[in-house]
Amino acid sequence: MPEKIRLSLDVSPELYQKLDELANAIHATKSEVLRRAIALMDVAVRAKEQGKKIGLAEQDQPLATEIIIG
């Protein structure tokens, strides 16, 4: 098993509530939600570096919402 590093994180009550809601929605732990969020951010940053865009669209439709990465 790969080595793990424990991380302590301070968040607002609102962010904690959102994290809890997301964990419940995907039937996962809060840690798993954060791991998936970081993986998604990594995809977005790499796409931007390659001159690509990331966004939301209905199936078989043009991009409806572009997600801007700072």
Residue 61 and residue 26: Cα distance in Å, rounded? Answer: 26
Read off the pLDDT of residues 18-66 as tens digits, 9 standing for 90 and up: 999 999 999 999 999 999 999 999 999 999 999 998 999 999 998 899 9
Q: At what angle do helices 30-49 and 13-25 cross, to 10 degrees?
A: 90
Contact (CB, 8 A) for 44 and 54: yes
Task: State pTM to two decimals.
Answer: 0.82
> In the structure, what pLDDT confidence band is assigned to residue 2 with cuts at 50, 70 and 90?
confident
Structure-block tokens of residue 13: 């009550």
